[in-house]
Amino acid sequence: MILKQKNKLVGAHQLQNKAIFSSIYKYQTKYSPLTYTSKLLRPAMKQILRRFISSLSYLITASRKISDTGFSNCRNHYKTRDRDVGMSICHINLARNPKLRGGERQTELLVRALANQGVTHQCIIILRRGPLTSRFQDCPYLKVFKVRNRLSALFVCLARSNKALLHAHETHAVQVAYLASLCSRKYIVTRRVINPIRKNPFSYAMYRNAHTVVALTKAVKDSIKNSTPNAKIVCIPSAWNPESPSVDTVQEIRDKFLGKFLVGYAGAMDDSSKGHSVLIQSARLLQSSFPDIKFILLGSGRLEHELRQQASDLNNVHFTGWVENPASWIAALDLFAFPSLREGLGSVLLDVMRAGCPVVASKVGGIPEVVTKNCGILVPPNDPEALAEQMAHLYQSHNLRVHLARAGAIRSEHYSPVLMAQRYKKVYLSAR
C-alpha cells in the first residue's frame, strides 16, 4: 500500500516536472533570438524559394525545348554551311536599361554578322524587359531565351551542351558565365569600359578564369592587366552601325536649322564623364562670336534635366531627347564633338566617321586609337577653351573639314561588322 502511494507521488511529480519543462521550452522558443530571426527571414526565404521554383520550371521547359526541337529550323543549313565552322555560341547580355545603348547595339551587330557568315548554332540570353527584347525577331539561326533574372540565366546556361561556348557581353553576364564555368562551361568576356575591375576576389576570378577577355582597345587592355595580369586578353574593336540614314529625315533636320553650322554630340546623359557639361561650356564661349554655330545634343538620361538647366541661358544649344536611330541626325551634322573625360572606345565615333563627318574629340582612353591625327582633331580632356578653339577653327576651314571627313570614312572601313565577326570567330575557335 505504501509502495503504491509512493509510485503515485513519483508519477505526479514527473508529470508536474514535465509540464514545467514544457512551458519553459515553449517560453524560450517563443522569445529566443533565433525565433525572431527566423520570423524576419521567413518572407525572404519564401521569395527565394518562389524564384528558385520559377527558375527550375523555366529550366525544365527550356531543357525540353532544346532536347525536343533544338535548332530544327536551321539543321539542314547547319549541315551545309556550319560544319566547317563547328562552333556553338551562347551570348549573354543581361542589360536592364530599357534604352538601347552602345554595348547592347554591339551585341546585336555581332550576332547578326555571325549569322550572315554561317554560324547557325547561336543562342542569346536576355532579360524579358531589357533593351534587346524585340531586337532579334528577324535574325536567322538564332534561339532567344528571355529570362527574369541572373539565376534563370544561369540555369539556361547549364541546360546548354558542354560544347556551347558562353560569351558574356556585360558585367552581370560575366557573373553568370563564371558560375556556369564551375560546371565545366567555357566562356569568354567582352570588356568595353576603361574603369578598373572591382577589388574583390569574385571580380578578379571572373576575368582570371575566362578563356579569353576581349578588350575594345589597348587602353581597355591595360586597365584589365592592372587588375588581373594573368588573364588572356586580345583586342577586338567595336563596329559601326550599318543602318542607313533617311534622306527625308536628314533634309527635315537641315531645314529646321536652316543656315546653321550644326555641331552634334550623341550619348546617354547618365554619366558626368561623358563630358556634356564641357560641351555646354564651350557653347557658352562661342555664342557671341560665332552665332551661326548650333549645338545639337542627342540622348537622354538621369542628368538631362541638370544639363538643360546649365544651358537654359544659351540660345545655341538644342536638346533632342532620346533618338532611336541617330544615323539621320549624324548625317545632318557639319561637325561632331566628343568631349568625353573617360572612354574605352566610343562606338558612336565609328558611325560618325563612316558618315563622313569630321570629328573633334578628347585625347583620353581608347579614343586616340580610333581618331588619329589624319582623320580628326584631339584636344585635352575637360578643357572647354581648347575644345571651343578647335571647333571655331574647323568652322572657318572648309578644306580641313573635307580632308578629315574623307580620311575618317576611309579609316572606318577597318571597323566593319564583318571584320569584327571574323575576329571573334578566331577567338571562338581557339576556345574549342
Q: Give tens-digit pLDDT for 264-323.
A: 999 889 888 999 999 999 999 999 999 999 999 999 989 999 999 999 999 999 999 988
pTM: 0.78
Answer yes or no: do 265 and 398 share one domain: yes
C-alpha to C-alpha distance for 83 and 12, rounded to whole angstroms: 85
C-alpha cell at 127: 532579360
pLDDT for 23 equals: 56
Burial status of residue 46 (CB atoms within 10 A of its CB: 0-12, 13-18, 19 or more): exposed
pLDDT of residue 43: 59
The pLDDT tens digits of the residues spanning 97-125 come to 888 888 999 999 999 999 999 888 899 99
**Higher model confidence: residue 134 or residue 393?**
393
Residue 11: count of CB within 10 angstroms of its CB: 10
- Total structural domains in the chain? 2
Residue for grid cell 526565404:
45
Note whether 68 and 205 are same-domain residues: yes
Co-location of 103 and 208 in the same domain: yes
Q: What CA–CA distance (Å, rounded) separates 55 from 156?
A: 9
Domain that holds residue 195: 62-239+418-430
Strand order in the sheet with 142-147: 142-147, 122-127, 89-93, 165-168, 187-191, 212-215, 233-235
Mean pLDDT, residues 229-249 taken together:
93
**Does residue 371 share a domain with residue 397?**
yes
Predicted confidence (pLDDT) per residue in 318-349, tens digit: 999 988 789 999 999 999 999 999 999 989 99
Q: Report yes or no: 207 and 174 within 8 Å, Cβ to Cβ.
A: yes
Same-domain status, 298 and 216 = no
Closest C-alpha to 192, from 342, 361, 341, 297: 342
- Per-residue pLDDT at 70 exceeds 50: no
Inter-axis angle of helices 102-116 and 417-430, to 10 degrees? Answer: 80
CA distance 12 to 7: 8
Q: Residue 71: what residue type?
A: F
Whether the predicted pLDDT of 46 surpasses 90: no
**Do 156 and 233 reside in the same domain of the chain?**
yes
DSSP H or E stretch at residue 238: none
CATH of the domain at 363: 3.40.50.2000
Indicate if 296 and 395 belong to the same structural domain. Answer: yes
Q: What mean pLDDT do residues 383-391 have?
A: 96
Dihedral angle at the C-alpha atoms of 407, 409, 412, 416, nearest 10 degrees? -150
Q: Are residues 320 and 338 in the same domain?
A: yes
In a domain, 163, yes or no: yes
Alpha-carbon separation of residue 295 from 211, 270, 320, 333, 371 (angstroms): 44, 19, 11, 10, 21
Average pLDDT over residues 57-67: 49
Amino acid at 394: L
